[in-house]
Amino acid sequence: MQKKNINNINETGFKVPKDYFNTLEDSILSEIKLKELSSVSGFKTPKDYFETLEDRIIEKTSNKKTPKVISIFNKRNLVYISSVAAAVLLLFNLSIFKNTTTWASLDTETVEDYMMSEDVLDSYEIASLLTTEELNNADFIEIDFNENNIETYLINHLDVEDLYFE
Kindly report the pTM of this predicted structure: 0.22
Cα–Cα dist 47/45, whole Å: 6
Q: What's the pLDDT at 141?
A: 63
Quick one: pLDDT at residue 4?
A: 65
Report pLDDT for 123.
Answer: 74
pLDDT at 119: 65
What confidence score (pLDDT) does residue 164 get? 66
Q: Which pLDDT tens digit goes with each residue over 22-38?
A: 888 988 998 888 887 76
Residue closest to 112 by CA, chosen among 101, 126, 100, 124: 126
How far is the C-alpha of 140 from the C-alpha of 126, rounded, in Å? 16
Upper half-sphere CA count for residue 3 (Cβ side, 13 Å): 3
Length of the chain counted residue by residue: 166
Q: What is the pLDDT of residue 44?
A: 76
- For every one of its 166 residues, what pLDDT tens digit does the chain have, with 9 covering 90 and above? 566 677 777 777 788 888 888 888 988 998 888 887 766 666 778 888 889 999 888 888 876 677 788 777 788 888 889 999 999 888 887 766 666 667 677 777 787 777 777 766 677 777 777 777 776 665 666 666 788 888 888 888 887 776 666 5
Q: What is the DSSP string of the chain?
A: -----GGG----S----TTHHHHHHHHHHHHHHHHHHHH--S--PPTTHHHHHHHHHHHHHHTPPPPPP--SS-HHHHHHHHHHHHHHHHHHHSGGGS----TTTS-HHHHHHHHHHH----HHHHHHHS-TTTT-HHHHHSS---HHHHHHHHHHH--TGGG---
